[in-house]
């Protein structure tokens, strides 16, 4: 992109602008209003509505300003009589074929056609004639398509194609009878449609609407409140439409730098759980096997007595807590503070252990900081080579995958390395399908080529990297032919990757659980870090290491120190200085200085009888942990179990006391997204039950123990976090409330935050190259268990489904719990699509419906982990990070004929 | 359409690397119309978005999703032809051949399409059989022409 500035005149006004823009872009940037229906700045212009026409000196006819590029000295007139008349004509034509339903239309007040008709004084319909369009049709469990109101601007088609990459809809017919169609007049449900709802949000008129909001209110009747999506780590900005204290619909926040207004199905439609009948309303205490409603005072007294009893009689180490990557920073902070100050225990962990602990350990050792090094926008706009490995990005961070498409459109090269032929591989320039669990060999292979063919960045290595000579010696001995033998990848393909990655101006590696959830998880991460260090592909705009976070606030829960080895801000537990600092800050003595237990270890220690009390805030380990049957046993065994949640989940059955919490639409605080951006969540609706915000509950228990921390609201806690966590110093309540969305580290009130990490220097000083030898996965298929089972996520569901499971439309789309199996395997075993089979591992068995797939390697079975896959997985851990190897274990399958209509399996 | 047909066609499309439009042309050539079920299967196999191919299918008048006979009869019922007796021809086809707009005879010999204008009003009424034009027609002449077709 050349950056030359030019001068143009719009309506006589001199404007300086970039030369590669269109007239409309320049006009809008300069607050010159030109009406436009088909143009949206996030899409490529298609010039179909002709409303944006303007006159350009020298052109005989008016031109569409949305497609017409500016040039030096051009003179544009946006409002001549001729133009106004043309626009009137255009609007009249549209209106003549439009039902004038504004008084009963949901879109009224927010409709562009209505707006322009008003502005241009279009009243009566000038062209009588047959109206062409058909009546409304319901397309799906979520979307209403009202053909009569459609003005055929094409925005919905384009958002679906350019942004979401699905192409679920297109024009049908031509001329007068044109309409938008999802193919063969079928319902959207029978197409590839993902129900992201972006077509609804981008429609300029009322032709696409949310079914849930039909007849519920018009634009001006809603309170529109900006907050953050409660689901995944992208942290999309959303606008919540509230009427009579009820969430009626959700739209993407166009001003959010995270998602530019785009969403996925969960953020757009996944809010039914808020009013689910399973919401907890009052504290419950189990008495003789039954839950009894009690008031808060009683519940807190009870908890106090019990915790005190166990602490006094069995010691602090008999108590453990699981905090939640769903809760806010403030709540996670106070949770760990309660454990450390009051209970004197470091046995605190959360589900980050199960997703990116190996990234945290790996990158902490090699470069000193494990967060995503670049912003999402950088990847879209600056990365020239994007390696996507071990992350099914279109399903796990859908809105980030929209950015990958944009990057591709810009010309970035996309490399996908994944044993499953995932959706994004369709747009890959290079797709590599290695055998499961052979990443170390593959990445060592790339490093070998980089070294042998001198693709490394000597200068960078000299200045910023240590251990190069030893590493070089090791890698020179690496036998490249292993790549073919072990990973089943052609060296030629690997060479292409090595060249593209090292030669591109800005390369980035994106990964998630396919890299981390292995017994070699940390070593896999070392390998990726090696590649960045060898080539200097880090510490630049669009260049770096990008582990994609799973949960909405998993980054924050880690930052806040809900980890057994770190105090807030990644201060090591077993460091005298840390303890002294925190004793000082918290005005407390004898803070625990021994590394506590991790998630899986906590459950093991319950079974060993060492942990007697467990406090679970907003987690559902009966889905998320490996070897669930084991966990179930532990939950039965633990003597005192506190469950604090918004919903009555499966683990509640095991609880001794249940505490009702507020969900993110009902409270305030901050979430930190995948790119380290700290964002405010806003209270949208009141909850008039006894449920309380998590921070309040913990604070009350602490008070009962005699601790007065002086928090009146969450902002008091954030103030303390500013004091305690260095990287959050400048992220003050005032700035957060002002809706600044700052990326940490941010060291002062003036600091704008940090978009790109590792510029100039690594947190640990020099980057460390790590020598990594290949190890086999723990449990590979054998004679008795001949299939390899791999697990993962799917787009529509979230984690243990406590929330998405309550969304009717999602239930309808996803249908019955399923597994995926290779077509050939199915044929060999005489299994048909849709039949139920039993999958058995050494730990347990599940019964699931079969979906056939060509995208899986032969001999593998894929089960979304939401569907009890973890009954089958094992608990062997990565020795560095203690992450379990969710991605690989061995299973056998059995035909399952009885119970044909039974829904599912028991845990 | 058997599984095997689908597989063969898919193979052919892949081998020739056909565009969406070419896929439709290829199928129409092969079957004389575009069987929708077959097309859906091909979409699924080749991961072609159904909306896109349907968009093209409905955009071009040349494609037919109705099964067609050996001879495609087009009878013009545009203004000029209508005035000059086009509808009589249509009535004749109904009576003699049991043909209606879009229908195919049981012996798969004829398919009728009634069109709005064939662009040859100067010789109205106009009919077409496959790609040949017949101008200044009347019901008897046209009946004879059809009866003579093998
Ligand atoms: S909901 Fe999303 S995937 Fe479906 S048609 Fe609309 S934009 Fe396309
Ligand atoms: S449905 Fe809306 S966005 Fe799509 S073409 Fe019609 S008016 Fe435009
Ligand atoms: S991508 Fe993630 S944050 Fe965005 S809407 Fe979907 S679930 Fe929510
Ligand atoms: S906005 Fe330019 S043609 Fe529609
Ligand atoms: S009206 Fe029949 S050819 Fe024109």
Tens of pLDDT, residue by residue over A383-395, are 999 999 999 999 9
Give the number of residues written for chain B. Answer: 150
Report pLDDT for A134. Answer: 64
Give the residue, by CA position, lying nearest to ligand 2 atom 2. A203
Q: How much is the pLDDT for A875?
A: 84
Q: Are residues B102 and B81 in the same domain?
A: yes
Residue with tokens 């099964």: B67
Ligand in closest contact with the CA of B82: 5
Instruction: Give the rounded distance of the alpha carbon of A692 from its chain centre.
Output: 26
Strands A75-77 and A63-64: unpaired
CB contact under 8 A, B51 and A191: yes
Residue B112 forms part of a structural domain: yes
Question: Ligand 2 atom 6: the closest Cα is on which residue?
Answer: A150
Q: Are residues B19 and B52 in the same domain?
A: yes
Spell out the residues 6+ positions from residue A695 whose beta carbon is closer than 8 angstroms to its own.
Answer: A328, A330, A331, A334, A669, A711, A714, A717
User: Residue B64 domain-assigned?
Assistant: no
pLDDT tens-digit map of A749-761:
999 999 998 998 9
Ligand 3: centre distance to CA A696 (Å): 27
Q: Does the pLDDT value for residue A902 go beyond 60?
A: no
Tell me what pLDDT residue A130 has.
58
pLDDT of A675 > 90? The answer is yes
**Residue range A355-360: mean pLDDT, rounded:** 88
Atom of ligand 4 nearest to the CA of A64: 2
* Among B residues 45-74, those touching chain A with beta carbons less than 8 Å apart: 47, 49-55, 58-59
Q: How confident is the model at residue A347 (pLDDT cuts 50, 70, 90)?
A: very high
Report the mean per-residue pLDDT for chain A: 90
Residues of B in contact with A174 (CB under 8 A): 58-59
Q: Kindly state whether residues B46 and B93 are assigned to the same domain.
A: no
- CA separation for the pair A196, A165 (Å, rounded): 11
Nearest bound ligand to the CA of residue A164 = 1
Chain length of chain A: 907
Q: In this structure, are B96 and B144 located in the same domain?
A: yes
pLDDT of residue A132: 56
Pair (B87, B121) in one structural domain? yes
Q: Do B58 and A173 touch (CB under 8 A)?
A: yes
What is the pLDDT at residue A136? 63
Q: How many domains would you assign to chain B?
A: 2
Whether B123 and B75 share a structural domain: yes
Tokens read off for A198 = 């972006």
pLDDT digits (tens, 9 = 90+) for A760-802: 898 888 999 998 888 888 988 899 998 888 888 888 887 778 7
pLDDT of res. A140 = 76
Nearest CB neighbour to A172, from listed B36, B49, B55: B55
Between CA A142 and CA A138 the distance in angstroms is 9
* pLDDT number for residue A906: 42
Residue pLDDT, tens place only, A128-179: 555 555 666 666 788 888 888 899 999 999 999 999 999 888 888 777 778 8
pLDDT at A318 over 90: yes
Of A173, A184, A426, the CB nearest to B50: A184
Whether the CB of B116 is below 8 Å from some CB of chain A: the reply is no
Residue B106 lies in a domain: yes
Q: B38 lies in which domain range?
A: 3-59
Pair B77, B29 in one domain: no
Segment (H or E) for A469: helix A468-477
Q: Is the backbone of residue A124 left (phi > 0), alpha (psi -120 to 50) or beta?
A: beta
B42 and B90: one domain? no
Q: What is the DSSP string of A720-775?
A: HHHHH-GGGTT--HHHHHTT--EESP--SSS----SSS-SSSBTTBSEE-------
CB nearest B49 (choices: A167, A173, A186): A167
CA A94 to mean position of chain CA atoms: 40
Q: Residue range A472-482: average pLDDT?
A: 92
Give the model confidence (pLDDT) of A500-531 as tens digits: 999 999 999 999 999 899 889 999 999 999 99
Q: Which residue of A has its CA nearest to B61?
A: A173
Q: Is the CB of A209 under 6 A from ligand 3?
A: no
Q: Is A66 in the pocket of ligand 4 (CB under 6 A)?
A: yes
Distance of alpha carbon A351 from the chain centroid? 15
The separation between the first and the last C-alpha atoms of chain A, rounded to the nearest angstrom, is: 57
- Retrieve residue A650's tokens: 């499966």
- Asked, for residue B44, whether it belongs to a domain, the answer is yes
pTM (two decimals): 0.88
Q: Which of A169-183, A207-221, A238-252 has the lowest mean pLDDT?
A: A169-183
- Asked if A168 lies within 8 A of B59 by C-beta distance, the reply is no
Q: Which H/E stretch holds residue B110?
A: strand B110-115
Residue B35 lies in a domain: yes
In a domain, B39, yes or no: yes
Domains and CATH numbers, chain A: 5-79 (3.10.20.740), 129-275 (3.30.70.20), 284-355+553-743 (3.40.50.740), 373-547 (3.40.228.10), 787-906 (2.40.40.20)
Query: Residue for token digits 């095997």?
Result: B4
Strands, E assignment, A764-807: 767-768, 787-792
Rounded distance, CA A640 to CA A618, Å?
17
Which alpha helices (H) appear in A169-316, and where do they start and end? 198-202, 265-269, 296-314
Question: Would you say A10 and A26 are in contact if contact means Cβ atoms under 8 Å apart?
Answer: yes
pLDDT band at A904 (very low <50, low <70, confident <90, very high): very low
Residues B107 and B47 in one domain: no
Q: Best interface-test mutation with A: which of B55, B56, B57, B117 has the largest number of A CBs within 10 A?
A: B55
Q: Which atom of ligand 3 is nearest to the CA of A398?
A: 1
Phi/psi at A809 (5° precision): -60, -35
Give the sheet arrangement for strand A143-145, strand by strand: A137-138, A143-145, A208-210
Ligand 1 pocket test, pick from A194, A210, A399 with the greatest ligand atom count within 8 Å of Cβ, gives A194
Determine the Cα–Cα distance for residues A199 and A234; give it in Å rounded to an integer: 20
Chain A residues lying within 8 Å of B51, measured CB to CB: 167-170, 181-183, 191
Q: What is the ipTM of this complex?
A: 0.73
Residue (of A483, A473, A471, A476) closest to A448 by Cα position? A476
Structure tokens, A307: 């915790």
Under an 8 A CB cutoff, do B51 and A426 touch?
no
Residue A404 Cβ < 6 Å to ligand 1: no
Assigned domain for B66 exists: no
Q: For residue A178, what is the nearest residue in chain B, using CA coordinates? A: B59
The CATH number given to whatever domain includes residue B97 is 3.40.30.10
| Interchain CB contacts (distance < 8 Å): A and B | 45
Q: Is A874 within 8 Å of A604 (Cβ atoms)?
A: no
Out of A34, A38, A115, mutate this one to test ligand 4's pocket (max ligand atoms within 8 Å of CB): namely A38
B65 part of a folded domain: no
On whether both B31 and B77 belong to a single domain, the answer is no
pLDDT band at A357 (very low <50, low <70, confident <90, very high): confident
B55/B81 same-domain check: no
Separation of CA A523 and ligand 4 centre (Å): 52
- Which atom of ligand 1 is found nearest the CA of A195? 1
* Cβ(A880)–Cβ(A361) below 8 Å: yes
* Residue-wise pLDDT tens digits, B19-45: 999 999 999 888 888 888 889 999 988
DSSP structure class, residue A140: S
Q: Which ligand is nearest to the CA of A260?
A: 3
B52 plus B83 within the same structural domain: no
């Amino acid at each position: 992109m050349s950056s030359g500035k030019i001068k143009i005149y719009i309506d006589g006004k001199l404007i300086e602008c970039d030369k590669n823009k269109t007239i409309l872009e320049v006009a809008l940037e300069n607050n010159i209003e030109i009406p436009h229906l088909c143009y949206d700045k996030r899409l490529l212009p298609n010039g179909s509505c002709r409303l944006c026409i303007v006159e350009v000196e020298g052109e005989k006819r008016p031109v569409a300003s949305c497609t017409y590029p500016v040039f030096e000295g051009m003179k544009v007139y946006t409002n001549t009589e001729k133009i106004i008349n043309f626009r009137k004509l255009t609007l009249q034509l549209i209106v003549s074929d439009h039902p004038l339903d504004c008084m009963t239309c949901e879109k009224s007040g927010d409709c562009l056609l209505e707006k322009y008709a008003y502005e241009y004084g279009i009243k009566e319909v000038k062209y009588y004639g047959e109206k062409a369009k058909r009546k409304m049709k319901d397309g799906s469990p979520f979307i209403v398509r009202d053909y009569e109101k459609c003005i055929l601007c094409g925005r919905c088609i384009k958002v679906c194609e350019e942004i979401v990459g699905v192409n679920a809809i297109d024009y049908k017919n031509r001329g007068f009878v044109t309409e938008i169609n999802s193919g063969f007049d079928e319902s959207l449900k029978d197409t590839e449609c993902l129900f992201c709802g972006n077509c609804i949000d981008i429609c300029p008129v009322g032709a696409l609407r949310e079914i849930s909001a039909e007849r519920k209110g018009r634009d001006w009747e809603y309170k529109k409140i900006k907050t953050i999506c409660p689901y995944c780590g992208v942290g999309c900005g959303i606008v919540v439409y509230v009427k009579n204290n009820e969430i009626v619909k959700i739209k993407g926040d166009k001003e959010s730098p995270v998602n530019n207004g785009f969403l996925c199905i969960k953020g757009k439609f996944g809010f039914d759980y808020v009013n689910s009948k399973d919401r907890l309303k009052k504290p419950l205490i189990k008495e003789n096997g039954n839950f009894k409603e009690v008031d808060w005072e009683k519940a807190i007294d009870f908890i106090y007595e019990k915790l005190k009893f166990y602490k006094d009689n069995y010691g602090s180490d008999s108590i453990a807590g699981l905090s939640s990557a769903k809760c806010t920073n403030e709540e996670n902070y106070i949770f760990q503070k309660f454990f450390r100050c009051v209970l004197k225990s470091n046995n605190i962990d959360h589900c980050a252990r199960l997703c990116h602990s190996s990234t945290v350990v790996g990158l902490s050792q090699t470069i000193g900081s494990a967060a995503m090094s670049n912003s999402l926008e950088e990847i879209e706009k600056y990365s020239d080579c994007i390696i996507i490995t071990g992350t099914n990005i279109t399903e796990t961070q859908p809105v980030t995958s929209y950015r990958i498409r944009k990057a591709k459109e810009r010309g970035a090269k996309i490399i996908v390395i994944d044993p499953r032929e995932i959706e994004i591989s369709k747009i890959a320039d290079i797709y590599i399908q290695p055998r499961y669990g052979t990443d170390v060999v593959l990445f060592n292979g790339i490093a070998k080529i980089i070294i042998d063919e001198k693709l490394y960045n000597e200068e960078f290595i000299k200045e910023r990297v240590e251990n190069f000579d030893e590493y070089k010696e090791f890698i020179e001995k690496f036998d490249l032919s292993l790549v073919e033998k072990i990973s089943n990848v052609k060296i030629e393909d690997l060479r292409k990757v090595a060249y593209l990655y090292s030669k591109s101006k800005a390369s980035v590696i994106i990964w998630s659980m396919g890299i981390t959830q292995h017994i070699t998880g940390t070593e896999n991460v070392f390998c990726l870090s090696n590649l960045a260090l060898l080539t200097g592909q880090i510490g630049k705009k669009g260049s770096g290491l990008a582990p994609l976070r799973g949960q909405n606030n998993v980054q924050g829960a880690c930052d806040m120190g809900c980890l057994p080895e770190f105090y807030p801000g990644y201060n090591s537990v077993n460091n005298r200085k840390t303890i002294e600092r925190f004793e000082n800050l918290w005005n407390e003595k004898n803070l625990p200085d021994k590394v506590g237990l991790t998630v899986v270890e906590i459950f093991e220690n319950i079974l060993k009888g060492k942990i007697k009390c467990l406090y679970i805030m907003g987690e559902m380990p009966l889905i998320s942990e490996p070897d669930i049957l084991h966990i179930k046993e532990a939950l039965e065994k633990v003597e005192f179990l506190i469950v604090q949640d918004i919903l009555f989940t499966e683990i509640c059955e095991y609880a001794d006391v249940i505490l009702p919490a507020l969900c993110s639409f009902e409270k305030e605080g901050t979430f930190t997204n995948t790119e380290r951006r700290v964002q405010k969540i806003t209270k949208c609706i009141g909850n008039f039950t006894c449920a309380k915000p998590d921070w309040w509950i913990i604070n009350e228990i602490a008070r009962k123990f005699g601790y007065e921390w002086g928090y009146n609201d969450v902002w008091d806690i954030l103030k303390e976090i500013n004091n305690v966590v260095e990287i959050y110093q400048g992220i003050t309540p005032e700035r957060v409330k002002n809706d600044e969305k700052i990326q940490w580290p941010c060291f002062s009130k003036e600091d704008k935050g940090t978009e790109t990490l590792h510029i100039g220097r690594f947190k640990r000083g020099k980057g460390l190259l790590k020598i990594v030898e290949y190890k086999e996965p723990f449990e590979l298929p054998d004679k008795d268990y001949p299939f390899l089972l791999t697990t993962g996520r799917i787009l529509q569901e979230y984690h243990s489904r406590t929330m998405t499971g309550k969304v009717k439309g999602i239930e309808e789309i996803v249908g019955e719990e399923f597994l995926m199996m290779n077509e050939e395997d199915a044929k060999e075993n005489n299994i048909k699509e849709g039949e139920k089979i039993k999958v058995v591992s050494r730990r347990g068995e599940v019964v699931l419906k079969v979906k056939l797939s060509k995208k899986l390697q032969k001999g593998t079975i894929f089960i979304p982990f939401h569907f009890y896959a973890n009954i089958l997985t094992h608990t062997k851990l990565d020795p560095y990070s203690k992450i379990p190897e969710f991605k690989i274990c061995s299973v056998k399958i059995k035909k399952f004929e009885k119970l044909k209509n039974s829904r599912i399996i028991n845990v | 359409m058997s599984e095997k047909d689908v597989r063969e066609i898919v193979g052919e499309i892949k081998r020739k690397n056909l565009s969406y439009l070419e896929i439709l042309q290829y199928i129409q050539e092969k079957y004389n119309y575009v069987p929708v079920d077959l097309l859906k299967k091909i979409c699924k196999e080749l991961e072609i978005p159904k909306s896109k191919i349907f968009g093209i299918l409905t955009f071009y008048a040349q494609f037919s999703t109705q099964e067609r006979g050996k001879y495609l009869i087009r009878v013009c019922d545009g203004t000029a032809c209508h005035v000059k007796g086009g509808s009589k021809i249509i009535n004749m086809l109904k009576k003699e051949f049991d043909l209606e707009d879009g229908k195919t005879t049981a012996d798969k010999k004829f398919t009728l399409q009634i069109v709005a204008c064939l662009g040859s009003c100067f010789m109205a009424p106009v009919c077409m059989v496959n790609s040949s034009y017949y101008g200044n027609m009347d019901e008897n002449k046209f009946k004879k022409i059809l009866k003579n077709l093998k």
